[in-house]
A and B are shown apart, each in its own frame.
Chain A
Amino acid sequence: MAYLSTTNFAEDKDFIDKWLYTIRTGEMDLGWMKSATEKISPEEANPRRGLTYRDLNLGTYGFTDIPEKVRANRSYAPRGAEIPEGVPDAQPWVSRKSELWAFNTESYYEEAVSRQWNATTDIPWDRLEGVELPEVTGKALSQLMTFLTEVEMIATDTPAMWLPRLNPDFIEVRSFIAAQAMDEARHAEVFRKRALTTGWGLMQASPINEMALKHLRDADSFSEMSVALHLVAEGNVLTMFRFSEYLSPTDVDKKIFRLVMQDEARHVGYGMQHFKYVLEHFPEKREVLHAHLDEAENISFAGAAATELTESFIILAGGGLKKENIEQGIRVTTQFNLKQMQEHFERLDKCGMPERKERSKLFQMYEMGRAAAENAGIKL
């Protein structure tokens, strides 16, 4: 057994006797009624929005006053409760606010809860009845969906594994991460379901992308994980979803990408706000994050060699395999690749890391690519 309670309650005579005595006599200690906790009178700021975590951001219960270093609570006690002697240590790895906090976390969570959708019933699957895509389009769509199921798998596991490592005082972040894990599970589900309705089934795994994506899971700190997952990977995927919606061969596919985009935008929003927060409140971390971004951007390079994805994208963008289709597909895919990189650097810029461009090999590649695209008459 990995942990044993400090007491075996079945063998603790005093504990059992007191329990039986209370039930038999009704004599209660009521020590908890004297808890040294704060009394508050929260109000719903906007009744139409309901009772939100922000409405409860008061005194010792609020998130605003969580100290930078949480020293007082390492147990499963909810923030603001009285903590008696003898509660166990939950063994959190992250007890420093700037390592995980983001402005607006509570709202990202509330939004996630209110915008849960259902891949089973919110996608008009029945409209696929009688729809038969040309072989080339159907296979390309299936290949894209196959790749996305791999991506969503890592996006599920990575935040989830960090959740129990976060100090319970950061309940709004833990809740956001729980909601994200559910979002990603739903994405894996919807992409799998779509691949299995094309008539082709799933296609081929993407070894280069998988090898690169593994990096997301094995970060040394939550902030590094977050910058690689929320900002770089999900930022790239968000751009990909936008383009995929544009390239979608059916209305069903468009609906899928619209719904996943709203979730992904939330995750990227959290990632940006956290990145900003950590740079502002934990400046020593800047160099560490630069070094982690070097690795994260290496993933973006790797993606260029994952031709099973690029080719399926070109086919969907061009509408087929004829010369003119391929040419059109390459134009759109070039725009997509450049847009992905441009938005990546814009995000870093907005978060307070403008110097990234000077250090990044990816930025050099972006500039070369943009110049080449302009020479070929392709505009961003």
Chain B
Amino acid sequence: MAFYADKDYTVDQTVLEAAQKVMAGQLGLHWYEAKTERIAGRASDPRRGLTYQDLDVGTYGYTNIPEDVRTSQSMVSRGSEKVGKLPDMGYVVNRKSDVWSDNVAELYEEDKARRWVPAIDIPWNELHAHPVAPELEMACAQLYTFLQECQLVAMDFPSKWVALINQDFLEQKSWMCAQMLDASRLFEVFRKRALYGGAGLGRASRTAEQGLKEWLWADQFPQGSVSINLSLAGFLLVLYRQVAAFAPTKVDRAIMRYAMQDGARQTAYGLGQLRYYLKHRPLEASAMEAYLDHTEHALLGLIGSPELLEPMIIICGGGLEKAQVDNGRIATAKFIRLVVREYMERIAAAGLAGHSKRSKIPAMVDRISAPA
């Protein structure tokens, strides 16, 4: 055990006495005049319900959380009166700019409102009613194997950090819990699709996993967030759009629609977090650029992975015939260019406007030649 309660309460006479006193009707009511702000929160728009934005008021609100949270290290809910000896939970993320994004409360609310259920919201029977050609089905199974690897990492990132983040950032932590469930649900739907199609799973990707682990294991939250919430999520968002456009079945299209809405939320947070971070910590911009220079090669590990590239060519072309492969590689080349273009646009929109000029990635992508 790393932690034992401060006392053995089973032999502590004061505990027994305190309990006996109250249960004998002698109430101390020390909490009754708590020195906290009195508010009666109400929904600003009853149709939308009572949101976290409606409660962004005074000491309870998130707008007024200071940049450095120095006085809260326990479980105390923001705005409560702190009394007595409270435990130190060992948070290592105590600066608002390290985690915050101006859209985080909205994203959390949206996440809950857009819940869906892979077991029942996907028309699974369509797969059996309208099976696709075996080589196309194998390509789908391979693509969905790859996507499961990505979602395992997307699930691990918020889980790994959430307990290390100060409890005052409640809306942020809640959003991260929503991200965990989103990733779990996407993993589930990708696995179900791969297995229900009958081709089984394909092969895991060495290059993708190596890149993903480098991103996941970033040793600071802002860096990890850029990698997972912006680079990975942005890449997946383009991928979902691409697969939706070339989806071989209604099932794949339905899956990608749900994946897009979840992926778009994650990307919006990734962009918002980086923007907030750079706005409040401008001196960190060069360090962040250096981090990107060092790690964005991992994006190549993903988009260059044969376990992704080849099934994408087959899916986008519709099969393995020469004409199909030609169409597929042209569409896949466009997809890769789009991934990199959108990535660079997001990085610029967040505040690193010159990054595309120093990054090695655009030059690599410029070398792509996909003649018809």
Besides A18-B304, A143-B34, 7 more A-B contacts (Cβ < 8 Å) are A41-B198, A56-B191, A88-B213, A161-B160, A210-B86, A213-B75, A299-B9
Do most interface residues of chain A lie in helix, strand or loop, or is the interface mixed?
helix
Instruction: Tell me whether A51 and B124 are in contact (CB under 8 A).
Output: yes
Instruction: Tell me whether A207 and B32 are in contact (CB under 8 A).
Output: no
Known interface pairs A182-B177, A185-B178, A210-B74; A35-B5 also in contact (CB < 8 Å):
no
A321-B158 Cα distance, complex, nearest whole Å: 45
A74-B18 Cα distance, complex, nearest whole Å: 51
Assess whether A160 is interfacial by the CB under 8 Å rule.
Answer: yes
B363 to chain A, nearest CB (A): 10
Residues on A with C-beta less than 8 A from B371 are: 24
Among residues 313 to 372 in chain B, which have CB atoms less than 8 Å away from a CB atom of chain A?
313, 322, 325-326, 328-329, 332-333, 336, 360-361, 364, 367-371
Instruction: Tell me whether A39 and B159 are in contact (CB under 8 A).
Output: no
Chain A residue nearest to B329 (CB atoms) is: A26
Instruction: Tell me whether B19 and A161 are in contact (CB under 8 A).
Output: no
Q: Which one, B38, B125, B301, B310, contacts A200 given CB within 8 A?
A: B38
A-B pair count, CB < 8 Å, reads 478
Instruction: Tell me whether B32 and A156 are in contact (CB under 8 A).
Output: no
The size of the chain B interface, using a CB distance under 8 A, is 153
A263-B115 Cα distance, complex, nearest whole Å: 16
A338-B219 Cα distance, complex, nearest whole Å: 47
Residues on A with C-beta less than 8 A from B295 are: 1
Instruction: Tell me whether B10 and A61 are in contact (CB under 8 A).
Output: no
Residues on A with C-beta less than 8 A from B122 are: 50-51
Assess whether A121 is interfacial by the CB under 8 Å rule.
Answer: yes
Instruction: Tell me whether A10 and B300 are in contact (CB under 8 A).
Output: yes
Among residues 108 to 141 in chain B, which have CB atoms less than 8 Å away from a CB atom of chain A?
109, 112-113, 115, 117-122, 124-125, 135, 138
The stretch that binds B, out of A145-153, A264-272, A273-281, A345-353, is A145-153
A334-B22 Cα distance, complex, nearest whole Å: 11
Residues on B with C-beta less than 8 A from A126 are: 43, 46
Residues on B with C-beta less than 8 A from A125 are: 42-43, 46, 49-50
Among residues 174 to 215 in chain B, which have CB atoms less than 8 Å away from a CB atom of chain A?
174, 176-178, 180-181, 183-185, 187-188, 191-192, 195-196, 198-207, 209-214
A119-B174 Cα distance, complex, nearest whole Å: 12
Instruction: Tell me whether B195 and A61 are in contact (CB under 8 A).
Output: yes
Listed from nearest, the 7 A-B pairs whose CB atoms lie closest are A207-B84, A50-B119, A77-B204, A50-B120, A3-B217, A120-B49, A157-B163
Known interface pairs A44-B124, A193-B41; A139-B364 also in contact (CB < 8 Å):
no
Residues on B with C-beta less than 8 A from A354 are: none
Instruction: Tell me whether A304 and B306 are in contact (CB under 8 A).
Output: no
Instruction: Tell me whether B185 and A202 are in contact (CB under 8 A).
Output: no
The stretch that binds B, out of A97-105, A231-239, A241-249, A306-314, is A306-314
Instruction: Tell me whether A202 and B207 are in contact (CB under 8 A).
Output: no
A49-60 Cβ-contact flags toward B at 8 Å (1 or 0): 111110010100
Instruction: Tell me whether A2 and B204 are in contact (CB under 8 A).
Output: no
B283-299 Cβ-contact flags toward A at 8 Å (1 or 0): 00000000000111110
Instruction: Tell me whether A5 and B298 are in contact (CB under 8 A).
Output: yes
Known interface pairs A2-B219, A168-B152; A78-B158 also in contact (CB < 8 Å):
no
Assess whether B48 is interfacial by the CB under 8 Å rule.
Answer: yes
Instruction: Tell me whether B4 and A215 are in contact (CB under 8 A).
Output: yes
